[in-house]
A and B are shown apart, each in its own frame.
Chain A
């Protein structure tokens, strides 16, 4: 049995400890907001937070999460209130939407570390997340928008 916390709730799973966290979240815990894209940490669709740091859950064995805190897209906010979610809606970022959970989770770490990111900061933080629809220009605008919302409204 492996135990960890997901979005503030305790999870106990009885799986092979080498199973990637991604598939435990999706298949055992029913949290399908985190996506599978490549299985080799190339695309970022599976990005979640492990104790607040961005993690490619498709290559991280679930054992790595034991006793730690995992946050998925479902836990970013309960009600679309996270500045990034509001900015994503305002800028109409998603197209197919499949990569956006991972994009948002990467952007959330960026904004925590650099509340006023430069374009170069955005390049560095977001380069691990592929979007096949080509929403990058709007992602960039939305991150800047979220950053300015956080200045005006106070950081979450």
Chain B
């Protein structure tokens, strides 16, 4: 190894463990001396830079960190509390919304759901029959009356139609019972004049304060039912 590259190597890193540099050093006393000089220089630099460390610096660093950490934790727990409170409020509002709002947005959907729900209770060939007087007593609640019977009335009672007090009538139909609802007008459910699904279909008639909804299977003539309802039902107000 020539002198120049040796010096260069030592200047670059006096503590080099490069084998070429080490063998060159062993072979030449001058090189060895040079290396020692530069190592001495490094030692002096080390000394010069080795300023005393302030007392207790490490303790101060740890203290400062634990204080900062404590502050952060306090902030964090406040945030958590705020989060929990917000969640509780949102939960409350949601519960309110679910409980007091309708899951159905029009009369037809609700009527169909209602009919399906009570399907099992009614037998088309049931022998019970409710008199016209009995029916009109109940209709009085809605300020309405039937002029004559629409057919064999199997069932007539109040029920909850999406939370509203309504009259639920079941007539004998051709193949399955025909359901008629008398429902007070309400803004939550949109009026829909005709609706159906794959088994049933229905139609609504709007009166001044009430809606009448007929739901029947597809063997019935809905328009016939509609026409006779319009003819027989009258409201006093």
> Are A and B part of the same complex?
no
B residues with a Cβ closer than 8 A to A are none
A residues with a Cβ closer than 8 A to B are none
